[in-house]
């Protein structure tokens, strides 16, 4: 379990990021967790109520002290020591109609122990003085933050004019209501002008950490630090998100076979100090929120990181995603430029990372997924040096580089086109028909992504069944509802086919000297598609060409199908005045076939798609008297 060691080292090296207010989800101090607050109560230095306000969802994330028990609180009594729900902090909770168990006494007892310790400070003293008065909800009602009915009970739903609906009611859904609001504190001391918001106050963080350490008594050998230290009673949850109750390490099954049979107690199997486990889990949570790849329903997560905290290229992104926004707007990486321009700029990008990371920088990649509702499993883990990691990222993007056309961005209305490799998720979606991820597809898409990740990190080839499935899917062109979907699928399929057959050295530009049967048949199909598409455009007709309709049959029986396609071109040749240029192209390709290859009617491999794509691009950019003007060619491109 060296990943625990690496995460702990990461936390130690990134101490400056702990509680960073500029980070939307900062690295947490130990003995702390986060909750989303709905109410903020403002107190003075003597613990008197000053005011209160409703916290918007955007500002609701709150860092709060916690115990090991409350850190993974789901159900049952487990108070947080400072900020908590009304059922904990308000002594008058039941008086105003609270419908859940009242846990104020345990909350007050925990806070009291902290207040009476040598680690207490004026902030928590003020909170304790206030909650001891037992008027929390009453004060909130008087301040018109909480709302009651004519019987003085908190109302569950707002039945009045929707235009007058209080802001607090918009923060709850389903059966949740205002009595379940989470409270955080702001204490305005008279001394100087220190941080008044307790969830941002580092003095309070340090106070609680020191106090909580003082309550620990059980010591044992930590398997990570190698030191005798205070043992962890429980291990953190909330790893993937704030609502995640699954744990990576758990041993609460004392009657089953989690560890019994091999060990007499759980600590013999694995033992961590409470400080090491919290630092490691906090680092993992931070890294996932900061740079993790979260797939589908949020259960499957991958994250790659440098132990030093330095920025690294995202291994789960397509090539376009690796470049900065400024670089994306340049012509250098657009699909209109050459493969040479792509290679030059991608190499510069990798060289920049190489300088930052160095040769021996420790890079780690971990994948997590739910083993059961309360358990997380490590499904993938690798440790690499910086040079190994960058070399494999570069190999993946270079060996998979192809012209990608993803259609129009719905927000910016710009065409998304680039030279490079697709993302694992885009590949998985092509395998299953470019469908949106639904409940029926999420599991197989997750499984496919899990199989693709080692191809990037370990340098393995794409599994052949994935390549084969993509080729079959794209060959059935009429199954795609939109032309841009098929163009996207075509580019991705060419990309992974090229990756699988790296030794063949396929080029993104048309290889006029490549005389393999499948490549040449693909070229013929593209020329036929171009002839008919151009003729239809000039006649103002919008329909699929014969080459598009018969592509699947052509892939299965190329010789027989080509004869039918070629015969169907006669009227379109006439419309184009003979189409001599295109006929010369067909003759040129036919002359490249080896003996008997042309007559071979067996199924084509995915190589025919590469020949088709390259030939189509060549024809779309060619200028001659037999072709249309530049504007005509650009408009016709959607028909071809």
pLDDT digits (tens, 9 = 90+) for 526-557: 999 999 999 998 888 888 999 999 999 999 99
Q: Sort 332 into a burial class: Cβ within 10 Å, 0-12 / 13-18 / 19+.
A: middle
3-class SS of residue 381: strand
Is the pLDDT reported for residue 624 higher than 50? no
pLDDT of residue 632: 36
pLDDT of residue 201: 92
Is the pLDDT reported for residue 394 higher than 90? yes
Q: 576, 531 in Cβ contact below 8 A?
A: yes
pLDDT of residue 264: 64
Token pair of 309 as six digits: 């905290």
Measured CA to CA, the distance from residue 107 to residue 89 in angstroms comes to: 7
Is the pLDDT reported for residue 625 higher than 50? no
Is the pLDDT reported for residue 519 higher than 90? yes
Token pair of 295 as six digits: 């797939």
Measured CA to CA, the distance from residue 332 to residue 312 in angstroms comes to: 22
- How large is the greatest C-alpha to C-alpha distance in the chain, in angstroms? 97
Q: Sort 494 into a burial class: Cβ within 10 Å, 0-12 / 13-18 / 19+.
A: buried
Measured CA to CA, the distance from residue 269 to residue 117 in angstroms comes to: 35
Non-local (6+) Cβ contacts of 174 within 8 A are none
Tell me: the pLDDT tens digits for 182-203?
A: 999 999 987 766 789 999 999 9
Measured CA to CA, the distance from residue 552 to residue 272 in angstroms comes to: 58
Q: Sort 72 into a burial class: Cβ within 10 Å, 0-12 / 13-18 / 19+.
A: buried
pLDDT of residue 258: 59
Closest CA to 489 of 443, 444, 532, 551: 551
Q: 321, 423 in Cβ contact below 8 A?
A: yes
Is the pLDDT reported for residue 177 higher than 60? yes
Per-residue pLDDT, averaged over 223-239, amounts to: 85
Measured CA to CA, the distance from residue 175 to residue 105 in angstroms comes to: 25
Instruction: Report the share of the chain in percent with pLDDT over 90.
Output: 61
Min mean pLDDT across 102-111, 112-121, 216-225 is at 216-225
Mean pLDDT for the chain overall: 87
Per-residue pLDDT, averaged over 259-287, amounts to: 81
pLDDT of residue 638: 40
Of the CA atoms within 13 Å of residue 365, those in its CB half-sphere come to: 23
Greater pLDDT, 459 or 341: 459
Give me the sign of the Cα torsion angle 123, 126, 130, 136.
Answer: negative
Measured CA to CA, the distance from residue 233 to residue 218 in angstroms comes to: 9
pTM of the model: 0.86
Measured CA to CA, the distance from residue 466 to residue 470 in angstroms comes to: 6
Per-residue pLDDT, averaged over 55-72, amounts to: 91
Extended beta strands in 389-521, E state: 402-408, 415-420
Of how many residues is the chain composed?
640
Return the DSSP state at 154: B
Q: Sort 558 into a burial class: Cβ within 10 Å, 0-12 / 13-18 / 19+.
A: buried
Greater pLDDT, 495 or 328: 495
Under the banding of pLDDT at 50, 70 and 90, the label for residue 341 is confident
Is the pLDDT reported for residue 629 higher than 80? no
Per-residue pLDDT, averaged over 79-85, amounts to: 96
Q: Identify the residue whose tokens are 């993007």.
A: 397
Top mean pLDDT of 212-221, 264-273, 405-414 is at 212-221
Is the pLDDT reported for residue 635 higher than 60? no
Q: Identify the residue whose tokens are 């993104």.
A: 508
CA dist list (Å): 445 to 185, 365, 441, 474, 595: 44, 20, 6, 18, 43
Token pair of 104 as six digits: 């104020």
Measured CA to CA, the distance from residue 81 to residue 69 in angstroms comes to: 11
Q: Is 154 left (phi over 0), alpha (psi -120 to 50) or beta?
A: beta
Tell me: the pLDDT tens digits for 284-329?
A: 999 999 999 988 677 899 999 999 989 999 999 999 898 877 676 6
Q: Please give the distance of CA 482 from its chain centroid, rounded to a whole number.
A: 26
């Amino acid at each position: 379990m060296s990943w625990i060691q690496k995460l702990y080292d990461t936390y130690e090296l990134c101490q400056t990021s702990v509680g960073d207010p500029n980070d939307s989800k900062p690295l947490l101090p130990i003995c702390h967790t986060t909750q989303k607050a709905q109410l903020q109560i403002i107190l003075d230095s003597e613990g008197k109520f000053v005011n209160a306000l409703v916290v918007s969802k955007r500002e609701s994330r709150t860092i709060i002290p916690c115990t090991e028990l409350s850190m993974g609180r789901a159900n049952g009594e487990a108070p947080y020591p400072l900020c908590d729900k009304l059922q904990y902090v308000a002594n008058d909770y039941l008086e105003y109609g609270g419908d859940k168990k009242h846990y104020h006494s345990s909350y007050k007892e925990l806070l009291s122990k902290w207040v009476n310790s040598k680690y207490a400070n004026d902030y928590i003293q003020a909170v304790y003085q206030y909650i001891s008065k037992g008027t929390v909800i009453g004060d909130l009602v008087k301040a018109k933050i909480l709302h009651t009915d004519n019987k003085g009970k908190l109302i569950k739903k707002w039945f009045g004019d929707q235009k007058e609906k209080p802001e607090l009611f918009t923060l709850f859904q389903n059966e949740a209501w205002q009595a379940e609001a989470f409270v955080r504190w702001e204490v305005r001391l008279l001394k100087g002008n220190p941080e008044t918001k307790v969830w941002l106050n580092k003095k309070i963080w340090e106070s609680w950490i020191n106090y909580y350490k003082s309550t620990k008594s059980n010591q044992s050998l930590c398997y990570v630090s190698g030191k005798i230290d205070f043992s962890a009673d429980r291990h953190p949850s909330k790893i993937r998100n704030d609502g995640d109750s699954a744990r990576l390490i758990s041993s609460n099954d004392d009657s089953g076979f989690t560890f019994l049979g091999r060990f007499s107690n759980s600590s013999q199997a694995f033992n961590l100090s409470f400080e090491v486990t919290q630092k490691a889990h906090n680092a993992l949570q931070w890294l996932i929120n900061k740079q993790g790849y979260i797939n589908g329903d949020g259960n499957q997560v991958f994250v790659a990181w440098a132990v030093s905290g330095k920025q690294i290229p995202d291994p789960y992104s397509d090539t376009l995603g690796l470049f900065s926004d400024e670089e994306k707007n340049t012509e250098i990486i657009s699909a209109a430029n050459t493969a040479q321009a792509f290679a030059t700029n991608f190499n510069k990008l990798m060289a920049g990372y190489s300088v930052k990371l160095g040769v021996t920088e420790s890079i780690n990649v971990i994948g997590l997924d739910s083993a059961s509702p309360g358990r997380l499993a490590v499904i993938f883990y690798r440790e690499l040096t910086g040079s190994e990691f960058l070399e494999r990222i570069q190999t993946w993007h270079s060996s998979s580089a192809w012209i990608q056309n993803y259609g129009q961005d719905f927000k910016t209305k710009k065409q998304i086109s680039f030279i490079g490799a697709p993302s694992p998720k885009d590949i998985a979606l092509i395998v299953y028909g470019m469908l949106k991820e639904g409940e029926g597809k999420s599991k197989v898409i997750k499984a496919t992504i899990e199989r693709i990740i080692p191809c990037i990190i370990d340098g393995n080839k794409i599994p052949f069944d994935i390549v084969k499935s993509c080729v079959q899917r794209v060959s059935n062109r009429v199954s795609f509802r939109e032309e841009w979907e098929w163009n996207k699928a075509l580019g991705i399929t060419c990309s992974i086919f090229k990756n699988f057959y790296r030794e063949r050295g396929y080029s993104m530009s048309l290889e006029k000297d490549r005389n393999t049967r499948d490549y040449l048949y693909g070229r013929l199909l593209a020329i036929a598609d171009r002839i008919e598409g151009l003729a239809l455009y000039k006649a103002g007709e919008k329909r699929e060409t014969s080459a598009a309709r018969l592509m699947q049959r052509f892939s299965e029986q190329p010789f027989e199908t080509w004869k039918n396609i070629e015969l169907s071109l006669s009227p379109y040749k006439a419309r184009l005045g003979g189409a001599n240029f295109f006929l010369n192209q067909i003759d040129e390709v036919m002359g490249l076939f080896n003996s008997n290859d042309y007559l071979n009617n067996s199924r084509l491999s995915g190589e025919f798609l590469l020949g088709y794509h390259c030939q189509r691009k060549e024809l779309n950019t060619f200028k001659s008297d037999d072709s249309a003007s530049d504007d005509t060619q650009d408009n016709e491109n959607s028909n071809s």
